[in-house]
A and B are shown apart, each in its own frame.
Chain A
Amino acid sequence: MNTVRKLLSGNEAIAQGAYHAGILVATAYPGTPSTEILENLALYKDIYAEWSTNEKVAMEVGLGASYAGVRTLVSMKHVGLNVAADPFMAAATTGIHGGLVVISADDPGIHSSQGEQDNRHFAKLARVPMLEPADSQEAYDFIQVAFDLSEKFDTPVLFRITTRVAHSKSVVELDDERVRQGRTKRFHHNVEKYVMLPTHARIRVPHMHKRMDELTDYAETTPLNQLIEGNDRIGIVSSGVGYEYAREVFSDATFLKLGMTYPLPPKMLQQFAGKVKKLFVVEELDPFLEENIKILGIHVEGKKHLPRFGELNKSAVHHAAVQIGTTSHSSKTSEVRPLKDLPGRPPLLCPGCPHAGAFFILSTIGQRNKILDASGKSKKESKLIITGDIGCYTLATYPPLRAMDTTACMGASIGQAIGLEKAGVSSDIVAVIGDSTFMHSGITGIVDAVYNDAKITVVVLDNGTTAMTGHQDHPGSGISAQGCATNKVSIEGIVRGVGVSDVQVVNAFDVKSVRSAIRSALDNKALSVVVVRGKCAVANKGRKNQRQVDLEKCNDCGVCLMIGCPSIQKKDGKLHIDAMTCMGDECTVCEQLCPKKAIVPSAGKVNR
């Protein structure tokens, strides 16, 4: 077998490595920064890859495939593992048959998530081994070790990456072909292992503890954990991308570089501590290594000098090095600062976004956009409360729309709306949820609303794709992860099927229809659902007759600017529409909203 040299992201390297390790099944729900793993695996036609409805289902499908003896990869973002925690814990209890590796892609610094969490704790909670690569080469190498480990120790393996590993490209030397490894495909009936009745679970739990003892022995000798000899004044324990920053800052230190971060190797750590005068842990987010090393009775420092949240970087590690006295202050020239008050570029809904019209309408009901102050707070309750959800549409929170009052986690909008209504608030309540999020975990919320007779309105913004993570297909799109036509699940079909009688489906780009549908849903003091359907602007290829402003008719009322469309700009006191980005005939929302009919197709008469 030959090797080739490629520049790959961590996610691409994981996909290649898993493929070379012989996986036959891959499951995932899209989520930054994990999405590209399944996207890359889906390209291989000799494996089965699916976008699952949500992470819980992904884990269950993965577990089933593993029981059949097949090597399986399940990938998700950090908060996805919260959704999948139930089957993940179950998998840890039953064990596996074919190698099962679960990727948790954490997002330190919250680049694109609703929160920050350190999923290394899940390894300890579930009593499973955890590997952490520091770059793409390790991502490729370690994922193959992970499958071997899984089968050898009868356990799912948690493979933990972070945004900076998932999305950074670095050089990888990899094999140029796939050699099928792993077990023979067959389900072996074994109720004591696979049926978790209390009597059986009580048999499995001691197995888990015994497995951890064996894994601890393995950790002492595995080449995943590396000693790098250097100066004995300071010994650095590190893992993941933190190691990369530490290597630059502590260039001559002795290192214990951990590729397997759970369970830890106690003897190796004791010996390492004995070798060096001072022990320092460099890790991102929680003091996970630090605390688990302290439990072994080893004196070590770490988070006393390093940030406990946010993304780590070389400057922060350098600052710590100065504090612990291994580095003197840098002789760099004095601090230079960028200009004060540079305008930000907050993410916005795209030009031609099918959500913009619906949000404009919601933002004007009860003059919400005027009641809320610049920070989105208000002294009095608005006539309309909008519970929101996770997706591009969460961006409608920003000015000028300000059309979202809550966003917690996938699918929460509907439950929160029910809760507000049952608590007795006097305002009307609208839950806003996207199509992919609705499939992910909005359905159970709707069932709850029907069962408990919630008097709320649910607006499903259906753009036909999982847009924010980069346009992945989902159960409502009719196309599989591997690009094949498949069954299409109907949102309105589900809603009617569970017993909602007031269901309307409207064209997202027909402002009048959207307005009257939302109005009538709000007037109906029972559960109503409005599906606002329109193609995602990024997927929308047709683009002609860009709009422009007829300045003779324009009276500068500013209504069009309240849509928040990035194409509509005001320069030197005059409004204009950027022809490079305007979606033209595909959208026309601004034209429909302009009270002076001053927005016209570029083919129309206009004074320049």
Chain B
Amino acid sequence: MNKQDILMVGVGGQGTILASDILGEAALAKGLDVKKTDTLGMAQRGGSVTSHLRIGKKVWSPLISPGEADVLLAFEKLEAARWVNYIKPDGLVIINKLAILPLSISLGTQRYPDDQEIIDSFRQRTSRIHLIDGTKQAGLLGDIRTLNIFMLGFLSHFLSINFDPAIWKQAITKQLPAKILDINIRAFEKGREVASSVSL
């Protein structure tokens, strides 16, 4: 079977780690080997968050190496831009169309890159780039905090490992409190649905 190296990135508070936990649990339930490692730095809130998830028959290194990520799933544009060198040739890039401005932008000492620059930087490696408005979709579902699960649903459509819908549901149920479960399952399904209407 295919090994899959999936890098998920975002800003603290966006649910990056939770999304990769769910995919990790799904892979575990499918009987695969899984390694997952997160880097958070020191910030409680608002810092860069990266989660490395590796799935396969046997996984050694917990870290994904530069040039080897099959997928980059980014919840914020600037965070996506940092990982260009990690995506493998022809890898899949999914970016949520959201800018969370670091303080240096407000203080006017630095500049936030525009969308075209970010896309062009990824084009050095791949043309499989989706820039999607996940925050808007999550908002339409009734809570923008479902962004991470919407994005995960979107990603699930493109994964080369095929997970049974029951496995997804079980993994989401295991990781989320009951009172927000329904809306998140709807977010996951919405993500899948939006992805299936995209051709690439």
Q: What residues of chain A have their CB less than 8 Å away from a CB belonging to chain B?
A: 5-7, 111-112, 135, 164, 167-171, 241, 244-245, 247-248, 313-315, 318, 332-333, 335-339, 341-348, 350-351, 392, 395, 399-400, 467-468, 537-538, 561, 564, 566, 568-571, 580-581
Contact between chains at B44 and A538 (CB < 8 Å): yes
Interface residues of B in 91-126 (CB under 8 A from A): 101-108, 110-113, 117-118, 121, 124-125
Range, interface on chain B: 35 or more
Given contacts A170-B35, A343-B110, A569-B106, contact A351 B60 (CB under 8 A): no
Chain B residues with Cβ below 8 Å from A167 are 37-38
Q: In the complex the two chains form, is B35's CB within 8 Å of A568's CB? A: no
Assembled-state Cα–Cα distance A468/B113 (Å)? 31
A313 & B63 in contact (Cβ 8 Å cutoff): yes
A478 → chain B closest CB, angstroms = 22
B70 at the interface (CB under 8 A from A): no
- The answer to whether A338 and B82 have CB atoms under 8 Å apart is yes
Closest to A241 in B: B62
B60 pairs with A171, CB closer than 8 A: no
Q: Select B102's contact among A247, A345, A392, A561, beta carbons within 8 Å.
A: A345
Contact check, B28 vs A5: say whether CB atoms are below 8 A apart: yes
Q: Which of A111, A345, A564, A571 contacts B11 (CB 8 A)?
A: A345
**B:29-70 near A, CB below 8 Å:** 33-48, 59-63, 65-67
B78 adjacent to chain A (CB < 8 Å): yes
A284 to B42, CA, bound (A): 22
**The 8 A-B residue pairs with the shortest CB-CB distance in the complex, in nearest-first order:** A347-B43, A570-B106, A168-B62, A168-B37, A343-B110, A169-B36, A347-B42, A244-B60
- Contact call A244/B62, Cβ cutoff below 8 A: yes
**Known A168-B36, A348-B103; contact A566-B61, beta-carbon cutoff 8 A:** no
With a CB–CB cut-off of 8 A, which chain A residues contact B112? 343
> CB < 8 Å: which of B42, B85, B102, B124 contacts A343?
B102
Tell whether, in the assembled complex, residue B45 and residue A538 are in contact, meaning their CB atoms are under 8 Å apart: yes
B60 and A247 contact, CB distance less than 8 A: yes
Q: A169-B24, A344-B102 are in contact. Are A164 and B42 (CB under 8 A)?
A: no
Complex Cα–Cα for A5 and B24 (A): 13
Partner of B107, one of A318, A350, A351, A561: A561
- Closest residue of B by beta carbon distance from A251: B60
B8 at the interface (CB under 8 A from A): no
Q: How far is the CA of A346 from the CA of B48 in the complex (A)?
A: 8
A351 x B45 contact (CB < 8 A): yes
Chain A positions within 8 Å of B84 at CB level? 336-339
**B163 interface hit (Cβ, 8 Å):** no
- Given contacts A347-B42, A467-B44, whether A7 and B111 have CB atoms under 8 Å apart is no
Knowing A333-B67, A350-B44 touch, does A569 contact B81 (C-beta < 8 A)? Answer: no
**Residues of chain A lying within 8 A (CB to CB) of residue B67:** 332-333, 336
A sample of 14 cross-chain residue pairs with beta-carbon separation below 8 angstroms, ordered by A number, consists of A7-B24, A135-B62, A170-B33, A170-B35, A248-B61, A315-B66, A335-B85, A336-B84, A338-B121, A345-B47, A350-B44, A467-B44, A570-B105, A581-B13
Contact B110 A341 (CB under 8 A): yes
Complex alpha-carbon distance, A467 and B47, angstroms: 15
Report how far A135 CA is from B34 CA in the complex, Å. 11
Q: How far is the CB of A125 from chain B (nearest CB, A)?
A: 29
- Given the complex of chains A and B, what is the CA–CA distance between A112 and B101 in angstroms? 23
